[in-house]
Structure 1
Amino acid sequence: MSQAASSDTIIFARKMIGAGFRSVVVRNSTGVSRKIIENMRKNSDAPESSCGPLSSAETLIKSNAAAVEATIFLLSYRQLAMKPEEEIDVEAVIAAFDVYQDAHGAARGGKVDETVLLDINDTWVIARDYRSAELSEHYCGHCGISFFRPVRLSQKSCPLCQLQDVEDQPSAFDTGLNIAHVRDEALKMRNWGQSDDEIARSLGVSSDDVEKLLSQ
């Protein structure tokens, strides 16, 4: 590697640190050693890098709400990246993450929903797993959007339509349902690893009801 290329790589690693990437992602993307990365981090205003293994898109995209967030990012990333099916374009990840954050806030009147908000490392993971063909693209003929689901996930329905259907459901507290029975079923589904959105759809109640029932 030439001196100029080495200098460019160091500059790019510093940019990634400033953008909020974990050290393991910076190292994976640039090949810069752990020691150099940690020294750069200490000499910057960037927070310390968290430890532990990176997540996967399958773990991140468990609920319909999470699938919508991932789709917003990934649609933008695919437009900006040069060869998203072949390599991770970190510059495009950074740019698409900015677009995603703006869209997330705009849809919520400038507020942030921390329960579903992706961070920049999450979006890098999504870009990585898209390149590895671990995410499949689907088209919804009802609302006219493309969306993405993990290939190993059996549910392939449109997350946006599912969320809208859940929100239109009547309240369990207003329909004369056996609240104790509904709560027991919701607890079982939660223990099985289902998201609140999926529980709500299965039980025919609203997502707000699920939250209320499971907080009692």
Structure 2
Amino acid sequence: MRLRHHARTQLAIALIRRGMRTSLVARISGLRPAVLRELHYEIHGCKPLPGQLPSTATLLGTARRQANASLFTGLYRAFGGAAVQRCIDIEALLTGHRLYLEQMAGLTGSDTLGPPLDINQGWVIARDLTTGLVLFRTCEPCAIPYVAGAFSRRSVDCPICALKVSRTGRDRKDDAPTEPLASSAAKQGKPNRDAKTHS
């Protein structure tokens, strides 16, 4: 009994260190909210903040957010296996999220996928995988797996392909040749200073 309580306490500490809401930690660990609030204060030096969890509609609302969530979910499934679509694997969630943050740190300079998901947002996606609100799909053209909301208009769109198209369009615009000065001046009806004048 003591060992089981100790294991639950250690799990709660690990989750709180990662920034998980105490309401979620209570659900996962089975510890009383009052105990978890004390642990949160000892670890972070402040009281836990209240607030609602985000919805998957928000987390998957754009191609960039969808690609971001797909990176996390792919790592989560790599450690938890197909079983993550039936129940949440907390150990796989922690390991996948840690590696996900490492991957995102390498992309921070380019801001490719926006800010990383925190552990609470990751848990929401993991939860909705088990209910069928989040689905795994594979893009036929690029063969990359991604996640989508079951009832989202984006459910059939690959976010990776969408970002590639968007990036290519921006690159083409940036690489467009500039007009020569003389040609530009002529179009605006301005005299060319280098042209010779005839008396």
TM-score by length of 1: 0.72
Q: Which residue of 2 aligns with 1:87?
A: 87
Q: Residue 8 of structure 2 aligns with which residue? A: 9
The size of the alignment, in residue pairs, is 171
Stretch deviating more after TM superposition (126-135 or 44-53): 44-53
Q: Look at both structures and tell me which one has the larger radius of gyration over its CA atoms.
A: 2
* Gap runs ≥5 in structure 1: 175-216
C-alpha contact 2:41 2:48 (8 A) present in aligned 1: no
Match in the other structure for 1:165:
165
Distance 2:56 2:12 in 1: 24
Against the structure 1 CA distance between its residues 20 and 138, is the aligned structure 2 distance closer, same or farther, given a 3 Å change threshold? same
Q: Is the 8 A contact 1:85 1:131 kept in 2?
A: yes
For 2:96, the equivalent position in structure 1 comes to: 96
User: Which residue is 1:62 aligned to?
Assistant: 61
1:47 positional shift? 5.3
Letter in 1 for 2:96: A
Structure 2 Cα separation of the partners of residues 52 and 72 of structure 1: 26
Deviations 1:28-84 (A, max 9, x none): 111111100001112223654331221122221101001111111111111212621
In the TM superposition, 1:12-161 aligns within 5 A as 12-45=11-44, 48-81=47-80, 83-109=83-109, 115-155=114-154, 156-161=156-161
Q: Where in structure 2 are there 5+ consecutive unaligned residues?
A: 177-199
**1:160: Cα distance to partner?**
0.7
CA–CA separation in structure 2 for the residues paired with 1:17 and 1:91: 14
Quick check: 1:104–1:112 contact (8 Å CA) kept in 2?
no
Classify the secondary structure of the residue corresponding to 1:149: strand
Q: Cα RMSD over matched residues? A: 2.3
- The residue identity in structure 2 corresponding to 1:100 is Y
Question: Is the 2:64–2:114 contact (alpha carbons within 8 Å) kept by the matching residues of 1?
Answer: no
Q: Provide the rounded CA distance (Å) in 1 between the counterparts of 2:31 and 2:22.
A: 10
* Alignment deviations for residues 102-131 of structure 1 (CA, whole Å, 9 cap, x no partner): 22122345x767943211111111111111
**Is the partner of 1:138 in helix, strand or coil?**
strand
- Alpha-carbon distance in 1 for matches of 2:101, 2:13: 22
SS of alignment partner, residue 135 of structure 2? strand
